Structures are given as C-alpha cells and as structure tokens.
Amino acid sequence: MNLEMNFLVLLSLFVTASASFKTDLFKDPHSFVSTFANADPVAINKVIEIINSMVQQNNDEKATAIQNHADAVEAEEKAAQVRHLATEDLKHKMGERDLSQEDLEKAQKHQALKLLQMENAEKALNGAQVDLDEATAFLASENKRIDGEKDVLEQVLDILNGLNADGGRRLLSSVPESFLAMLSAKGLKVNPDSLASVVQAVNDLIDEGERLRAVAEQGVADATAARDGAKDDHEEAIKCHDDAIAATEKATEQRDMYVEQTNAAQIVFDKAVKDHEASVALRDHLLAVKNSEIARVTSENADLAEVKRLLVALL
C-alpha cells in the first residue's frame, strides 16, 4: 500500500512536470491503464483525480488562450479607434495648415499690392508738390510783373486825370511818347485826340493784369487742392500698407500654429499606426494560439476521458 502511494505521488509530480509522459499517455491510453490492472481501488481513484486535474488544467489553459485572444481583439478595436481618431485629426490639421498657407500667400500678395499703391501714391504726392511749387513760383512772378505794370498804369491814370482836370478834352501830345509806345506794344489802338479812350485803355490793361493774377492764384489753389488730395491718398495708402503688414503677420502666426499642430498630430498618428499594427499582429498571433489550444485540449481531453473510462472500468 505504501509502495502504491509513493508511486502515486511520484506519478503526480511526473505528470505535472513531464511533457513526455503526457505524450506517451496520449499515444497509448490502453497501455497506460493496463499498468493499474491489479492496483488498489484507492490508487486507481487517485489516478482518476490526477486525470481530472489534467483535464481541468487543459480547460484552464484553453480558457486562458480564449480570453487572451478576446482581450487582444478588444485591444485591437480600441487601437483601431485611436488610429481612426488620429487619422481624422491629422487630416483636419493638415487641411487647416494648407488653408492657412493659402491665406498667408493671399496676404503676402495683398501686402505687395498695397506697397505698390503706397509707392505710386508717394510719386503722385511728389508730382503734386512739384506742380504746387511751380504754380506758387509762377504766381509770385506774375504778382511781381502785374504789380510793376499796375504801378506804371496807375501813374499814367494820375497824369491823364490831371490833364482832364486842367481843361477837359486835351491833346495827348503832352503824354510821354514812351507811354503811347507801350499802348501800341500792348496792341491797343486809341485815338490820340481822345483822352477818354486812353483812360479806358489803361483801365482795361489794369483789369487784364488782375485777371491774369486771378488765373495764377486759381492755379495755386487748384495745385494746393491737388497736393492735399494726393497727401490724403498717400496717408491712406500708408495706413492700408500697415494694415496689410499686420494681416500678413497674423496670417504667418496662424500658419505657423497649424504647422506646429500638424507636426504634433503626425507624431500621434505615427504612434497610433504603430500601436495598431502591433495590436493586429498580437491579435492574429493569439488567435493562432487559441485555435491551437482548442485543438490540443479537445484532443487531449478526449484521450483523458478515455483513460478515465478505462480506469473507472477497473474499479
């Protein structure tokens, strides 16, 4: 009896530790059972318990393989979802980056246009200032000329008025020939015997001078208005150019922000792809392990069931 018990203990340890023993058992269950043909029922029951524990161990290993695969399937699904979200986020970030790049290019073109307009406005302002300077210089020249001629003409009027006061209708023989020559140079033809006509001619000359002065003054006024308008246009062009610079700077900041976000999203995406591919490989590997374990356990448990049936028959 002690010998049989010792044998059973050794058998239990051997079964637990030796794969070759299991292989031999599964190869020839009948030969294995025949070794217990004359064994005590207690010993046979102990062997049956060992067989039951082997079946339970197989079932536990199969369940573990099934659960490991189920966990891997769940992990792969989660990794796939993470990859999907990372893909969508990367697409979104890349789209925003590309749009921000287009906005930046538009802002740069707009800034270049505003720079050109500002330069043209500056040229127009410089041209308008030159026109004003010329009109101002011309007015000064006209004022000097007209004032000089007017001074002479007013002196002549004083003389003519003096002659008229002395005797009414007088010959112009007393009037300097230089004055008559001046009248002739002006294209004025008067009757030398008519003092009134000469006075009128002098007044006409003064009026013509004032008309020319008014024309020159209007030229200065027009040139001033044109210069002021060009100055306003130039100031507005400067403001528009400054605004365009600010818009370009803002567009640059936006583009840089989306480039940074896209780079970060790319890193997340790359990791998600790597993790998902690893989870797929693990899932497929554990599927093969599960299928192998199911097949092994099914086969081994069938053999163990047969061994158990034969052992029970010995009782």
Confidence of residue 185 (pLDDT cuts 50, 70, 90): low
pLDDT greater at residue 201 or residue 259: 259
Closest among 31, 56, 42, 38 to 307, alpha carbons compared: 31
Token readout for 31 is 């030969």
Which of 175, 219, 221 lies closest to 198, judged by CA?
Answer: 175
Name all domains of the chain by residue range, CATH numbers in brackets: 2-314 (1.10.287)
Q: Is the pLDDT of residue 179 over 50?
A: yes
- Does 52 score more than 60 pLDDT? yes
Question: Nearest-CA neighbor of 265 among 90, 36, 144?
Answer: 90
Is the predicted pLDDT of residue 24 greater than 90, yes or no? Answer: no
Confidence of residue 193 (pLDDT cuts 50, 70, 90): low
Per-residue pLDDT tens digits for 30-46 = 888 888 888 899 999 99
Is residue 72 within 8 A of residue 279, CB to CB? The reply is yes
**Dihedral of alpha carbons 160, 165, 170, 174, sign:** negative
Helices (H) and strands (E) in the chain, counts: 6, 0
CA Rg, the chain, in Å? 60
Looking at 34-43, 139-148, 164-173, 251-260, which range is the least confident one? Answer: 164-173
Query: Rounded mean pLDDT of the chain?
Result: 87
- The runs of H, that is alpha helices, within 168-194 are 177-185
Amino acid at 302: A
Which residue shows structure tokens 């009948």? Answer: 30
Instruction: Count the neighbouring beta carbons within 10 Å of the beta carbon of residue 49.
Output: 12
Q: What are the tens digits of pLDDT across the range 54-92?
A: 999 999 999 999 999 999 999 999 999 999 999 999 999
pLDDT at 289 over 50: yes
pLDDT in tens, 292-303: 999 999 999 999
Report the sign of the C-alpha dihedral through residues 103, 104, 109, 115, in that order. positive
CA distance 144 to 63: 119
DSSP helix/strand/coil, 168: coil
Single-letter residue type at 226: A
Does 12 score more than 90 pLDDT?
A: no
Token pair of 244 as six digits: 């365009």
